[in-house]
Structure formats: structure tokens, C-alpha cells
Amino acid sequence: MTLSKYVIEQMGFTEYPETDELEIRFGIIKAYSLRGLVFEKDCELKQSKVASFGINCTSVISQSINEACKLLTGDTFVDDEEKWLSDNKASPPFLLIYFWESAPRTLRGGYRQEKDGNIYTYDAFPEGKIEIRNWENDVELRIITALTVHLSTLERQVEIVPIARSIFGTTQQGKTVFDIKFTASAKAYVSSPKSIDGIANSLNEAEKLFAELTKDSSRHFYAALNEEDRLKKFLGYFLFIERFTHRTFKSLSFEVNAKQLFSIQQHMEKSAAEFFSMVFSESKNLTQRFHWCAMTVWNQLGDEDINNFIEIKKIRDRLAHGEHINESDLPVEKAKTLGLKLLGTKQT
């Protein structure tokens, strides 16, 4: 619904002429609560180093949302952190990700108001913030996937829960345009302590994984992480496993990756090698390819993982054929654990 000029002005906004221009560079801060992780009690500095993920994007993990924001932007996130934590039912530690657009934009006229040295606008940039939207649809999901993999262990998996999102612009005069929205949710969880060195190592590993991930290889995993419906969650993890398997298999070759699996007697070395090479190249279905990947390059998998994959695929096939399966019977946790293992999550 579009508000009338009268209603907008009653909200405290003033309409500026088109000749009045402001050059603004947009940025976005996204705050998350890390469920399943706490700083070790003897950590004096409960704040990580700043990590970089791609172009114009930095991140930090901290016990204080304001201290984290100051480290990334030079300014606090909220005026009263204790009250904000209570109002939003949020608890530390926090992950903050800061992304800023590469080029400034020009605001011509529009509805504005100034308060406490900041500028507030009403729907001033309907065509703007495109780079931020693209970042949220691509880079952010890869960051969250990479951090989930390396902050978690297979026994204790960390949930990265979004709690706040602030889009803002900075003018050449140093004033800030704010647009803040908050969300919150509640869920029981058990946290494992992690040292500052352990968190630093996780961030380093996440940066490396982020560089390897593509949008296609992580979007289903990311979607499943943020899904409440168990059926959709299960299917999301399965789609990730399926696409990751096919992508990995296509990178293999018989000569480099599979030939050493076979012990071939010398008198039939040529024909046997040709036969096994044909079997490898004609492996088209998911189960065949999953086995090849597990036998050649996924050294972190064992027999139990193979059995879990077979169970997961059978249930997915039953769903695809229209069979009813109670959501409580879906092996969501097995699918998630297998996905984490494929991406590199370690045991404790």
C-alpha cells in the first residue's frame, strides 16, 4: 500500500525538491546469534579477528553486538545494548557481517527527516540497493554455509540465526541514513565452549571454503538451514547432496582418481582397464556417482555414511513417488550431518 503525502508528512518527513541532491554509499549490517557456541570462560578478549569474505565484505564474532559493530563500521549497532538484548530475546555470541556497495548513489529530493545527526528517508531508493540485494542472494548464503561448516562439529552443530538487518547509507558529510528491521525466534539448544584461537581457526577455514563454494553448490544447503518445515528441510539437504555429488563426479577422471582402486593382473591389464573405465564413464545415476566419489576423493566418509546416504535416497524416492511419510520419520539430522561432512565439518 502506498501512503499519501499527508500521512508521510504526519510521520515527520518533509518533501525535498529534485534539485536537492545527496550522494550516498549504501551498506548493510546483518546480525546473527550463534546457537550452540559460547566463548570459553577464561577468554579475556571475547571477540574474533575481522575476517574478509569476497569484495567489500567483512565479518566478526563477538560477545557484544556493539563492540562487533564498532570494529566493522566505527559505530555502535544500538544505543542501549542491554535493553535491545532483552527486547529482542537475543543472546551472545553474535556474528556480524558488513557489506558495502562499491559505488555511491545520488538521492534527488524525496521525503526526509533529520534526527540526532542522522537522515531518515521514506522509500527514497526504490531502484537502489541492487548490489546489496544481489549480495544477499548469492554471497551471503555462501558465507553462512561456510561458517556453519567450520564453526560446527559433527556432534555439536552450530545454528546461525538471523536477528537483525540494517540497511543504511553514508553521505559525504558523514551523516547516516538508517533502515533497520528486527526478527527473532526461540529454540532450545546446547552450547559448546570455543576458545578465541578455535574461533580464529574456524574463520580461517570458512574463508577458504567460501572461496570454493558457488551459489548453486550452497543455496539448497543454506535454504535447509533456515527452513522450519521438516519436509522442506529434508528435501533441501538432499538436493544439496545430489548436486554436490554430481558436481564432484564430473571433476573426476578414471585415470587420475579411480584406476588405482583396481588390482589388475598383467596378462589382461589393457582389456580390464578398458572395462573398468567404461563402467566408470557410464555411471549416470546418483547412487553410482556417490559411491565413486566416496571411494576416490571423499576420504572423510565411511561405511556408515554410505548406509545413511542409501537410507536418505530411498526415502526421497518414496516421497517422489507420492508415498506418505510422517515428518517425524524423515532423517533430517542424518541428511544435515552428511551434508556438513561433505563440506568439511570435523568431529569434536
CB burial of residue 235 (10 Å; 0-12, 13-18, 19+): buried
Which residue is it, cell 593382473? 265
The per-residue pLDDT for 72 is: 94
**Number of structural domains found in the chain:** 2
Task: Return the axis-axis angle of helices 215-225 and 332-343, rounded to nearest 10°.
Answer: 140
Q: Are 228 and 192 members of one domain?
A: no
The per-residue pLDDT for 337 is: 96
Q: Is 97 within the bounds of a domain? A: yes
For each of the chain's 348 residues, which pLDDT tens digit applies?
Answer: 456 777 777 777 888 888 888 888 888 999 999 999 999 887 777 899 999 998 899 999 999 999 999 999 988 888 899 999 999 888 999 999 999 988 888 878 878 888 877 887 777 665 557 888 889 999 999 999 999 999 999 999 999 999 998 888 888 777 777 654 344 444 445 567 888 889 999 999 999 999 999 888 899 999 999 899 999 999 999 999 999 999 999 999 999 999 889 887 878 888 988 999 999 999 999 999 999 999 999 999 999 999 999 999 999 999 999 999 999 999 999 999 999 999 999 887
The per-residue pLDDT for 118 is: 80
Among 150, 144, 62, residue whose Cα is nearest residue 99: 144
Q: Are 170 and 241 members of one domain?
A: no
Q: Are 273 and 315 members of one domain?
A: yes
The per-residue pLDDT for 183 is: 44
Q: Are 156 and 102 members of one domain?
A: yes
C-alpha to C-alpha distance for 303 and 281, rounded to whole angstroms: 23
Among 135, 163, 144, residue whose Cα is nearest residue 222: 144
Asked whether 161 and 33 are in contact (CB, 8 A), the reply is: yes
Q: Are 147 and 36 members of one domain?
A: yes
Q: Are 192 and 204 members of one domain?
A: yes
Q: Are 57 and 72 members of one domain?
A: yes
Q: How many beta carbons lie within 10 A of that of residue 321, not counting itself?
A: 7
The per-residue pLDDT for 55 is: 86
The per-residue pLDDT for 267 is: 81
Q: Are 236 and 338 members of one domain?
A: yes
155 to 151, 191, 341, 347: CA distances (angstroms): 12, 11, 11, 6
C-alpha to C-alpha distance for 112 and 99, rounded to whole angstroms: 24
Q: Are 273 and 331 members of one domain?
A: yes
Q: Are 109 and 172 members of one domain?
A: yes
Q: Are 193 and 92 members of one domain?
A: yes
Among 315, 272, 32, residue whose Cα is nearest residue 163: 32
Q: Are 90 and 177 members of one domain?
A: yes
Q: Which of 179, 212, 245 is the last residue of a domain?
A: 212
Q: Is 348 within the bounds of a domain? A: no
pTM reported for the whole predicted model:
0.82
Q: Is 291 within the bounds of a domain? A: yes
Query: In terms of residue numbers, what domain contains 334?
Result: 215-343
Q: Is 149 within the bounds of a domain? A: yes
Q: How many beta carbons lie within 10 A of that of residue 172, not counting itself?
A: 10
